[in-house]
Structure 1
Amino acid sequence: MVLLSDPVSLSVVRERFRRWLANLCWPSRDVDDIVMAVNEAVSNAVEQTHPSAIGAEVRVAARQFAERDGGRRVLVAVAAGEYWSPEPDGFEGPGLLMIHTCMDAVEVSREVDGTTMLMTSARVPPLGFVWP
């Protein structure tokens, strides 16, 4: 997804992720964690867009992957321009702490032209698994 760096984009990303996860038959108890983490990352990127960056974009990509035992995870990347800095040196705000709580792994990489946050969800059972 390529979204304008605008607060309106937040509702779009939440709705699309909920629909996508429903199509993957993702367990409903885990959907909110992923949606909240993605929403917070996109929100952070939008808030830190430089005022002169008219037409700035936030890019979101995601995919499901299966582990060897059939367990499933979602990998989500949120990328934005040079002004986004989700982890200022030595500081973790409440939004970033929430992302870390909602996801199993979070990595941030900074390049000259922007920042990317890579988030990996908690493991969920294979499709067709029935809880005992």
Structure 2
Amino acid sequence: MGPLHPPDDVISMVLMADPVSLSVVRERFRRWLGALCWPAREVDDVVMAVNEAVTSAVEHTHPSAIGAEVRVAARQYAEPDGGRRVLVAVAGGEHWTPEPEGFEGPGLLMIHSCMDAIEVTKEADGTTMLLTSAKVPPLRQEF
């Protein structure tokens, strides 16, 4: 058997715009961040923020949009000082508009408290929310 391969720096999923998808997102992000040795408190922040963004996308999908999807992708990256962050993109349908009026809601305030940065872009076919996590320490290399 070969050596263990390092965890993937990237995770992505396409979910039905349905509340049932939320537990899948939370569980997969917890497992992924655990494999990346993310600090426990920061795992909670990222999972809560992603859950809230996906909840918003699901809740604001037009009821007539049969088979509507929410796409979630994230990647870990290192900054020049070795500190690590995750960048998460949550993309929903054309009826999801978490701005500008949505920025006052409790969900958005919670995301702001859990993440370092939020950026929302709206295109004709949908909205994408980009979330940047707080910086966590570099992984210590074990030799």
Normalised TM-score (structure 2): 0.87
1:96 aligns with 2:108: yes
User: Out of 107, 124, 132, which is 1:112 matched to?
Assistant: 124
Contact 1:76 1:119 in 2 (8 A): yes
Which residue number in structure 2 is paired with residue 67 of structure 1? 79
Structure 1 gap ranges (5+): none
Cα deviation, residue 91, structure 1: 4.6
Regions of 4+ moved over 3 Å: 88-91
Normalised TM-score (structure 1): 0.95
Which residue number in structure 2 is paired with residue 31 of structure 1? 43
Q: Write the letter of the residue equivalent to 1:22.
A: G
Structure 2 gap ranges (5+): 1-12
Which residue number in structure 1 is paired with residue 3 of structure 2? none
User: Out of 99, 117, 122, which is 1:87 matched to?
Assistant: 99
**TM-aligned CA distance change 1:90 to 1:6, over 3 Å:** closer
Contact 1:78 1:116 in 2 (8 A): yes
Two-structure CA RMSD over aligned residues (Å): 1.2
1:49 aligns with 2:75: no
- Number of aligned positions between the proteins: 129
Give percent identity, aligned residues only: 81
Contact 2:90 2:130 in 1 (8 A): yes
Cα deviation, residue 95, structure 1: 0.2
SS of alignment partner, residue 63 of structure 2: coil
